[in-house]
């Protein structure tokens, strides 16, 4: 039996810059009841994703903005505790992609809950890290949009982050020369020495011209694939270094999420025409039908040691807000998760 009340973190006001404690409220509310077609899940883990910051803006472009006073929308891994949907029964596990919340329990539509089961040899919560957006986003972005070929050069921004570190390793697996961009010398060292990147450089304190020089030096034959997580000046510098027929996988723009007002640039947009390049945005959720096959392939790479990743897991709902801020200060060391309950699967 679930308890009679539910703890949740609601959006108290629209953040300016990096979200802090005053932007949220921790509330205790009556336990919600699932209506016909819905299920009640106990959230075991919350996935802290950069995109959540963009949903806090009033003009979020691809999902409705999170309303003030409402729980912060999030992807969560949950255990079903009550079901009014024919496909789920208590004890089942599922991932609520972008429809759970920063709360102990969530009510979600049964059709939006993606059933998951523990894969032998891997903990259940990998369905919120490497077998979820962290792994699937670079998998589809790099393979479907990047179309990597052996010997090509792949450039990755936010390369030491959850998504970027996997994008670079998949490009390596496919035989590319891989160059990473990250926010500290220590992260750059880790990319080369631990994850097998061919080179990496620190973007901090550099303008477009300096960034462009660094890219030109490390990618002398031009950039065939740019996997962009950041936007802004890094995107502009990459555009200046595209090889002919380059592919740009537009994965995210974390540099813009904490900005208010009009977003500047990209100023070197014209290079897309000059290099006959393809720029494609994508949302991982639209590949949902292909998730099982992608996870099978990534499982193989994990077992063979070709793919490495790390998780940055905090414990308890109260840890959510300080942990979330780490995405924008660069303090996270791997996929950010919050553990609310032990998974006993
Ligand atoms: N398209 C999709 O379906 C999809 C799905 C999931 C995620 N994404 C995108 O993937 C990207 C990475 O997200 P994530 O959740 O995996 O986070 P993450 O990469 O683990 O963490 C974010 C990293 O971004 C870097 N960063 C933060 N602010 C920056 C800035 N202003 N300029 C340059 N770098 C900055 C920081 O590293 P440094 O120390 O290197 O600065 C930070 O550690 C985001 O853009 C996100 O929106 C897209």
pLDDT digits (tens, 9 = 90+) for 208-220: 999 999 999 999 9
Could you tell which of 200, 254, 314 is best to mutate to test the pocket of ligand 1, judged by most ligand atoms within 8 Å of the CB? 254
Q: Do 5-129+309-339 and 133-285 agree at the fold level? A: no
Could you tell which of 229, 237, 263, 312 is best to mutate to test the pocket of ligand 1, judged by most ligand atoms within 8 Å of the CB? 229
pLDDT tier at 309, thresholds 50, 70, 90: very high
**Which CATH entry fits the domain spanning 133-285: 3.40.50.1100, 3.30.365.10, 3.40.50.720, 3.30.1460.30?**
3.40.50.720
Beta strands in 190-277 (DSSP E): 199-202, 223-228, 242-250
Distance of CA 138 from the midpoint of ligand 1 (Å)? 12
Any atom of ligand 1 within 6 Å of the Cβ of 138:
no
How does the average pLDDT of the chain come out, rounded? 96
Q: Transcribe 2-52 into DSSP letters.
A: --SEEEEEEE-S--SSS--GGGEEEEEEEPP---TTEEEEEEEEEE--THH
Any atom of ligand 1 within 6 Å of the Cβ of 235:
no
* Residue pointed to by tokens 């919120």: 128
**Residues sharing a CB contact under 8 Å with residue 103, sequence separation 6 or more, in sequence order:** 6, 7, 8, 9, 43, 71, 317
Confidence check: pLDDT of 265 > 90: no
Ligand 1, atom 6, residue with closest C-alpha: 133
Q: How far apart are CA 209 and CA 52, in angstroms?
A: 31
Identify the pLDDT of residue 345.
Answer: 65
Identify the pLDDT of residue 1.
Answer: 73
The one-character DSSP state at 196 is -
Any atom of ligand 1 within 6 Å of the Cβ of 250:
no
Confidence check: pLDDT of 135 > 90: yes
Phi, psi for 94 (deg, rounded to 5): -155, 160
**Domain segments of the chain as ranges:** 5-129+309-339, 133-285
Identify the pLDDT of residue 289.
Answer: 92
Domain 5-129+309-339 class in CATH = alpha beta
């Amino acid at each position: 039996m679930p308890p009679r009340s539910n703890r949740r973190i609601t959006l108290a006001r629209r953040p300016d810059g990096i979200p802090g404690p005053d932007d949220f409220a921790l509330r205790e509310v009556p336990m919600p009841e699932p209506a016909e077609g819905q299920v009640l899940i106990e959230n075991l883990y919350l996935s802290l994703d950069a995109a959540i910051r963009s949903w806090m803006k009033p003009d979020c472009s691809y999902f409705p903005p999170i309303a003030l006073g409402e729980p912060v929308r999030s992807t969560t891994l949950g255990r079903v505790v009550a079901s009014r949907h024919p496909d789920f029964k208590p004890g089942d596990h599922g991932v609520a992609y972008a429809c759970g919340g920063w709360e102990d329990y969530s009510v979600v539509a049964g059709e939006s809950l993606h059933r998951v089961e523990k894969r032998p040899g891997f903990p259940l919560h990998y369905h919120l890290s490497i077998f979820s957006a962290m792994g699937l986003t670079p998998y589809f972005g790099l393979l479907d949009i990047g179309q990597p070929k052996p010997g090509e050069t792949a450039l990755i921004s936010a390369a030491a982050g959850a998504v970027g570190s996997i994008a670079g390793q998949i490009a390596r697996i496919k035989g590319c020369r891989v160059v990473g961009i990250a926010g500290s010398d220590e992260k750059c060292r880790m990319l080369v020495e631990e994850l097998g990147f061919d080179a990496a450089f620190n973007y901090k304190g550099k303008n477009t011209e300096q960034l462009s020089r660094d890219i030109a030096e490390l990618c002398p034959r031009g950039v065939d694939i740019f996997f962009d997580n950041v936007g802004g000046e890094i995107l502009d510098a990459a555009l200046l270094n595209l090889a002919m027929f380059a592919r740009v996988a537009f994965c995210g723009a974390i540099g813009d999420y904490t900005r208010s007002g009009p977003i500047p640039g990209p100023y070197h947009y014209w290079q897309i025409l000059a290099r006959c390049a393809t720029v494609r945005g994508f949302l991982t959720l639209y590949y949902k039908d292909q998730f099982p096959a992608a996870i099978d392939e990534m499982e193989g790479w994990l077992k063979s040691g070709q793919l490495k990743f790390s998780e940055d897991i905090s414990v308890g709902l109260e840890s959510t807000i300080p942990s979330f801020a780490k995405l924008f200060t660069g303090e996270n060391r791997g996929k950010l998760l919050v553990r609310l309950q032990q998974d006993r699967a």
